[in-house]
Structures are given as structure tokens and as C-alpha cells.
């Protein structure tokens, strides 16, 4: 019922910035909590950030707090992840995800019902 498409990944040097976008369709976007997760090769999928339905509340994984910012534009049905001061350990496939629980700030991937296809972020030394 909800389709998510990520974009904006690429190759960047350490210390650089990227902005990821996730466009949603198929459901009222403003009712969804939206999260970002990432998965490096051979690693478990890891929570990155989440934003509630209105954009008024956010929560971040410790390793990205202060460097990454999640925000949303409900009129455009799009959620963004602004990534600054990137590090090689940020290299991963980044996924956006949606939860019908609009005020949920969960870091648990199983609590998100819908997922995008992922976009690759590679940070070189």
C-alpha cells in the first residue's frame, strides 16, 4: 500500500556530505513515521534515524547524532537524510522505511511495515 523509492546515494570522500531522499506514494504520507536504516556487507541492518508524522520529533543512532539530520516535507511526500562529516564506517546501503504508527520513534526494523529498495553510500578515506 506504501511504495518508497530512495535516491541520492553515491561516492564521497571522508568529511564530505550527501543528502538522501525517499519519495513515498500510495498512502497519506503525514500519517507515517519514517525511518532510515543502513546495512553494510556482512553486517546486520542498523537503525540510523526516525522522524514522527509531523516532523516535530526525531531520534538518532548514537554514531550519527550531530552529523546526520532527518527531516520531511509532507507536501512533497518525501523524507530526507542529510549526512555531513561522513566517515568510511558510514559506507552501507541505506534504506528508508515507513511505520503506520505515526508517533513511533522505534529503532527496531521489524516495526516498520514498508521498505524502499535501498541506495548505496560509499565513503572513501
pLDDT of residue 1: 84
pLDDT of residue 27: 73
Other C-beta atoms closer than 10 Å to the C-beta of 51 total 24
The whole-angstrom separation of Cα 90 and Cα 83 is 9
pLDDT of residue 90: 98
Going from the C-alpha of 11 to that of each of 69, 70, 86, the distances in angstroms are 19, 20, 11
pLDDT of residue 26: 84
List, for the chain, all residue ranges whose pLDDT scores fall below the cut of 70: none
Longest distance between any two alpha carbons in the chain, whole Å: 41
Tell me the chain's radius of gyration from C-alpha atoms.
13
pLDDT of residue 104: 84
Going from the C-alpha of 92 to that of each of 44, 62, 87, 100, the distances in angstroms are 11, 17, 11, 26
pLDDT of residue 3: 95
Amino acid at each position: 500500500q506504501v511504495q518508497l523509492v530512495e535516491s541520492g546515494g553515491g561516492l564521497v570522500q571522508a568529511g564530505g556530505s550527501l543528502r538522501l531522499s525517499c519519495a513515498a506514494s500510495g498512502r497519506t504520507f503525514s500519517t507515517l513515521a519514517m525511518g532510515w536504516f543502513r546495512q553494510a556487507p556482512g553486517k546486520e541492518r542498523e537503525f540510523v534515524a526516525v522522524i514522527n508524522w509531523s516532523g516535530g520529533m526525531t531520534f538518532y543512532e548514537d554514531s550519527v547524532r550531530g552529523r546526520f539530520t532527518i527531516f520531511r516535507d509532507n507536501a512533497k511526500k518525501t523524507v530526507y537524510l542529510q549526512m555531513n562529516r561522513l566517515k568510511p564506517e558510514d559506507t552501507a546501503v541505506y534504506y528508508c522505511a515507513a511505520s503506520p504508527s505515526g508517533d513511533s520513534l522505534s529503532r527496531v526494523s521489524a516495526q516498520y511495515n514498508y521498505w524502499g529498495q535501498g541506495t548505496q553510500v560509499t565513503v572513501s578515506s
